[in-house]
């Protein structure tokens, strides 16, 4: 988005509303808070009080006024960072030790915990991006995903990572092959305090290995759980000390120039990769929302792609569903809808895995009851059952329990 104009652009097309916001103005949670202000909880709508502005020209700031506000903000940011500095040094030192301890350099080869401190493999998605974009969306029911998280003793976010990893493995199998090394996702983490709805960006990034090199769903989930635990162990301390705003006068012009040079030189095609894509899960409103009396059916997030990571998957919960928004560079991934369909297949695979896991204890209990009845002479009205038959049934039940 060009910053020569306002960093937002709402567009209504038919029954759809597309709102474009610059990431410098809002992050995912701030965008959700903004949507809740713009929309209603009831079809009838509501009356919002209008607060009169103290300024005559609220849409036009003078250069002196903007510079004065910017310098004041910069000073506040510097003071806040200096105040946090003593605690930050100790926290960063401890976090660095944890990272090294969990890294491949210090891990035993027998350790099952995956390390996040590794370079990502290069795929067709890891290239310099152009100006074209391809977008696809898909909606999945929320209840089965929450049930899967409970059944597998994990978080909903980790189930989302599993779905994305499974879909990516399927898509890559049809586009250049699946790398022998696991793909790595850059996962945004919120730095917001509870109840903070300030319109700015308060987020950082952590890396999670996705286990895409594993063919089966269950080992892939175990891999993601280990990688996620390693990420949380480091992120828990860092969230308390990372600044949410940095002194940045002049930085936008510098970043814009560097980004242009970076893209034209296609540096992303040659340097080692830290991550393959971005996967973000943003909690949304758990109830229906309305605009001008019409119920919002879906809320598909549209995020950004950057050089070296031509795919962004952002997920937002809404009411009783999960809305997936897949944004890709048009040249690197023109068939992004195929990945959306792969997500649906991954969801079906997840439901099948959970059904088998839930049914295994039930089958084992039924088998044990059958053995008990046989040993008490109640099976088939025969009065007695041979030890051989009883032993055979016991062996069958043992196999079921072991398989479970």
Cα(78)–Cα(64) distance, integer angstroms:
21
Contact yes or no for 299/323 (Cβ under 8 A): yes
Per-residue pLDDT reduced to its tens digit, 108-166: 343 444 544 567 899 999 998 888 999 999 999 999 999 999 999 999 999 999 999 99
Of 274, 293, 295, nearest to 285 by C-alpha is 295
Number of H helices, E strands in the chain: 8, 10
- Reduced to 3 states, what is the DSSP secondary structure of residue 1? coil
Cα(263)–Cα(265) distance, integer angstroms:
5
What is the pLDDT, as a whole number, of residue 100?
A: 45
How many other CB atoms sit within 10 Å of the CB of residue 350? 21
Contact yes or no for 43/290 (Cβ under 8 A): yes
Strands (E), 39-182: 133-141
Cα(206)–Cα(280) distance, integer angstroms:
11
Which domains are seen in the chain, by residue range? 26-40+64-355 (3.30.559.30), 358-403 (no CATH)
What is the pLDDT, as a whole number, of residue 293?
A: 86
Cα(273)–Cα(161) distance, integer angstroms:
19
CA dist list (Å): 324 to 30, 84, 139, 211, 312? 18, 37, 6, 21, 10
Per-residue pLDDT reduced to its tens digit, 77-113: 545 544 544 444 444 445 445 444 544 433 434 344 4
Of 168, 176, 149, 156, nearest to 211 by C-alpha is 168
Does the structure show a pLDDT above 60 at 74?
Answer: no
Q: What percent of the chain has pLDDT over 70?
A: 54
- Helix (H) / strand (E) element for 355: namely helix 336-375
What b-and-e string marks burial along 76-112, b requiring 16 or more CB atoms within 10 Å of the CB? ebeeeeeeeeeebeebeeebeeebeebeeeebeeeee
The two tokens of residue 121 are 């493999």
Does the pTM exceed 0.85? no
List residues bridging with 21 in a β-sheet: 8
Residue located via tokens 């940095």: 246
Per-residue pLDDT reduced to its tens digit, 303-330: 889 888 999 999 999 999 999 999 999 9
What is the pLDDT, as a whole number, of residue 278?
A: 93
What is the pLDDT, as a whole number, of residue 107?
A: 42
Q: Which residues contact 185 (CB under 8 A, 6 or more apart)?
A: 161, 164, 165, 207, 208, 210, 275, 276, 277, 278, 279
Work out the mean pLDDT of the chain and round it to a whole number: 73
């Amino acid at each position: 988005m060009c910053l020569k104009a306002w960093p937002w652009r709402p567009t209504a097309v038919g029954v759809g509303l597309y709102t474009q916001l610059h990431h410098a103005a809002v992050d995912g949670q701030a965008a959700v808070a903004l949507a809740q202000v713009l929309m209603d909880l009831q079809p009838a709508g509501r009356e919002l009080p209008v607060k009169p502005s103290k300024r005559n020209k609220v849409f036009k700031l003078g250069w002196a006024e903007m510079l004065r506000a910017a310098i004041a903000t910069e000073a506040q940011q510097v003071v806040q960072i200096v105040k946090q500095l003593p605690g930050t040094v100790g926290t960063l030192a401890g976090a660095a030790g944890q990272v090294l301890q969990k890294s491949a350099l210090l891990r035993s080869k027998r350790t099952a915990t995956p390390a996040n401190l590794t370079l990502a493999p290069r795929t067709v998605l890891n290239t310099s991006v152009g100006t074209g974009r391809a977008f696809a969306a898909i909606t999945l029911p929320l209840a089965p995903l929450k049930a899967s998280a409970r059944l597998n003793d994990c978080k909903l976010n980790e189930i989302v990572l599993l779905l994305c990893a499974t879909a990516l493995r399927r898509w890559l199998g049809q586009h250049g092959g699946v790398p022998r090394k696991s793909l790595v996702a850059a996962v945004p983490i919120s730095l917001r305090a509870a109840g903070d709805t300030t319109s700015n960006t308060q987020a950082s990034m952590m890396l999670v290995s996705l286990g895409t090199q594993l063919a089966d769903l269950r080992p892939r989930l175990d891999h993601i759980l280990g990688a996620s635990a390693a990420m949380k162990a480091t992120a828990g301390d860092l969230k308390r000390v990372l600044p949410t705003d940095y002194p940045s006068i002049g930085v936008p012009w510098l970043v814009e120039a560097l980004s242009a040079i970076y893209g034209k030189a296609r540096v992303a095609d040659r340097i080692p990769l830290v991550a393959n894509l971005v996967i973000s899960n943003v909690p949304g409103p758990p109830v229906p929302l309305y605009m001008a009396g019409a119920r919002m059916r879906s809320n598909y997030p549209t995020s950004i792609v950057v050089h070296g990571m031509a795919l962004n998957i952002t997920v937002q919960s809404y009411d009783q569903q999960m809305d997936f928004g897949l944004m890709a560079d048009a040249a690197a991934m023109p068939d992004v809808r195929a990945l959306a369909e792969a997500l649906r297949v991954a969801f079906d695979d997840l439901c099948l895995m959970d059904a088998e896991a839930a049914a295994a204890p039930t089958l084992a209990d039924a088998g044990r009851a059958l053995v008990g009845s046989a040993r008490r002479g109640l099976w088939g009205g025969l009065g007695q059952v041979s030890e051989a038959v009883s032993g055979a049934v016991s062996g069958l039940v043992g196999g079921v329990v072991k398989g479970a």
